[in-house]
Amino acid sequence: MNIPKPSDKALVPFVSVDHMMKLIHHEGVEQMLAGLAEYIEADFRRWELFDKTPRVASHSEKGVIELMPTSDGDVYGFKYVNGHPSNTADGLQTVTAFGLLADVATGYPVLLTEMTILTALRTAATSAVVARLLAPRGSKVMAMIGNGAQSEFQSLAMKAIVGIEEVRLYDIDKAATRKCAANLEGSGLRVVSCDSAEDAMLGAQIITTCTADKQYATILTDNMVGSGVHINAIGGDCPGKTELAPAILHRAGIFVEYPEQTRIEGEIQQLEADHPVTEIWQVLTGQAEGRRNDEQITLFDSVGFAIEDFSALRYVRDRIKGTELFHPLDLLADPDDPRDLFGMLQRAKG
């Protein structure tokens, strides 16, 4: 089954949670992470073609609701996403999301999809794309500090794309660590559950921090971080939310997606507005240097950017072609006469 065109009664392909899970199992988790990484890297290499703006955010005491739009001139995409750290206390997800792609020429949507699971996958794929660029050559061990909903995806992406063989887990909630260790059983990774962040970092070349508290926090202190490591700071970022001690930032080469957004939400909100950072797309295209030497600390101050979601949406659009992994959704009005919308409404009375 091909994606319906507007002429097909204006049906829009809708990928439900169930169909997204079936797509992931059809592709294979690690294979899908690798495929998403290819799409993300390809779009980062054509970065200058995209419309770019910091996400449109509505903040409240409990969390944030955001829209993340972009376009390459031919296709428009956006993601709706929330971040509510206290949701888990009520049995709800911290993050939920859905996304849409549209044809710029007509304005018609061509895909509507769940993005809660897809965001976890694209975040992990982005982390691995960057780690492959910046982490010490031959990295085999990652510390995963924060073992919530992202942790398994991050671990598997680093295995599939970077070649990590061991993941060392730590979370202040031991149940989260047990959950992550159980989910990674049989993955081919050596999984080590640790009693402290310092223990988790022993022998790690890559340190991933992924916590969700909406506050200034110090997950890593300066004395915990030795030379030569790559830090992948991916926690649920927003104004007033950080994970790293400022001294680490002053020691590290800092790499970001889109500075205008990262300076608002990322670790670098703790620094001066003109503190130098390097954009990842520039490293991928050879316009900027990545890791300088074996002693340098590299930091990916990841906050998530709309182009990554655009890449993920493109991937899903392409992968569902010829499958039954979507519902045709009656989303758009389709009157016989485009000028007679009211007449269409009246005919529905019968």
- CATH assignment of the domain containing 202: 3.40.50.720
What is the pLDDT confidence band of residue 237, given thresholds at 50, 70 and 90?
Answer: low
> Average per-residue pLDDT in the chain?
93
CA angle 97, 100, 105 (to 5 degrees): 165
Of 43, 171, 237, 301, the catalytic one is 237
Which has the closest alpha carbon to 261: 291, 293, 301? 301
User: How far is Cα 132 from Cα 7, in angstroms, rounded to an integer?
Assistant: 43
**Is 312 part of a structural domain of the chain?**
yes
User: How far is Cα 189 from Cα 28, in angstroms, rounded to an integer?
Assistant: 16
pLDDT for residue 83:
86
Q: What are phi and psi of 346, to 5 degrees?
A: -65, -40
Q: Are 117 and 18 in contact (CB under 8 A)?
A: no
Shared domain for 161 and 211, answered yes or no, is yes
Shared domain for 334 and 237, answered yes or no, is no
Shared domain for 329 and 238, answered yes or no, is no
Q: Are 193 and 177 in contact (CB under 8 A)?
A: yes
Tell me the average pLDDT across 306-327. 97
Domain count, the chain: 2
**Is the sign of the CA dihedral 341, 343, 344, 345 positive or negative?**
positive
CA distances, 278 to each of 108, 112, 256, 290 (Å) = 36, 33, 6, 8
pLDDT for residue 6:
43
Q: How far apart are the first and last CA of the chain?
A: 32
**Is 3 part of a structural domain of the chain?**
no
Which has the closest alpha carbon to 237: 33, 55, 36? 55
Instruction: Enter the tokens of residue 234.
Output: 């991916």
Beta strand 230-233 with 206-209: parallel, antiparallel or unpaired? parallel
> Annotated catalytic, 72?
no
CA distances, 84 to each of 55, 66, 90, 98, 214 (Å) = 16, 11, 11, 16, 8
User: How far is Cα 78 from Cα 51, in angstroms, rounded to an integer?
Assistant: 12
Residue 117, H or E segment = helix 116-134
DSSP string spanning 232-253?
Answer: EE-S--BTTBEEE-HHHHHHEE
**Is 130 part of a structural domain of the chain?**
no
Shared domain for 93 and 198, answered yes or no, is no
What is the pLDDT confidence band of residue 324, given thresholds at 50, 70 and 90?
Answer: very high
Which has the closest alpha carbon to 115: 74, 77, 146, 64? 77
Instruction: Enter the tokens of residue 296.
Output: 């340098």
**Is 5 part of a structural domain of the chain?**
no
69-97: per-residue pLDDT in tens? 999 999 999 999 998 888 988 999 888 99
SS3 142: strand
pTM: 0.93
Spatial CB neighbours of 311, under 8 Å, sequence gap ≥ 6 = 36, 39, 40, 42, 43, 122
Judge whether residue 7 has pLDDT over 60. Answer: no
pLDDT for residue 213:
60
**Is 181 part of a structural domain of the chain?**
yes
Judge whether residue 282 has pLDDT over 80. Answer: yes
Domain end among 271, 290, 305? 305
**Is 123 part of a structural domain of the chain?**
no
Shared domain for 262 and 318, answered yes or no, is no
CA angle 292, 47, 162 (to 5 degrees): 50
Shared domain for 241 and 330, answered yes or no, is no
Shared domain for 192 and 175, answered yes or no, is yes
Of 172-176, 234-238, 276-280, where does mean pLDDT reach its minimum?
Answer: 234-238
Instruction: Enter the tokens of residue 176.
Output: 């989260």
CB atoms within 10 A of CB 329: 17
Shared domain for 42 and 106, answered yes or no, is yes
Judge whether residue 214 has pLDDT over 80. Answer: no
Shared domain for 300 and 319, answered yes or no, is no
**Is 67 part of a structural domain of the chain?**
yes
**Is 2 part of a structural domain of the chain?**
no
Shared domain for 326 and 298, answered yes or no, is no
Shared domain for 28 and 92, answered yes or no, is yes
Q: Are 207 and 225 in contact (CB under 8 A)?
A: yes
CA distances, 234 to each of 5, 79, 154, 199, 305 (Å) = 37, 18, 10, 20, 12
Shared domain for 251 and 339, answered yes or no, is no
User: How far is Cα 257 from Cα 122, in angstroms, rounded to an integer?
Assistant: 14
8-27: per-residue pLDDT in tens? 657 899 999 999 999 999 99
Instruction: Enter the tokens of residue 50.
Output: 């995209």
- Look at 325 and 5; give whichever has higher pLDDT: 325
Structural domain of 22:
11-117+307-347
**Is the sign of the CA dihedral 242, 131, 312, 168 positive or negative?**
negative
Q: What CATH number is given to the structural domain containing 336?
A: 3.30.1780.10
Judge whether residue 105 has pLDDT over 90. Answer: yes
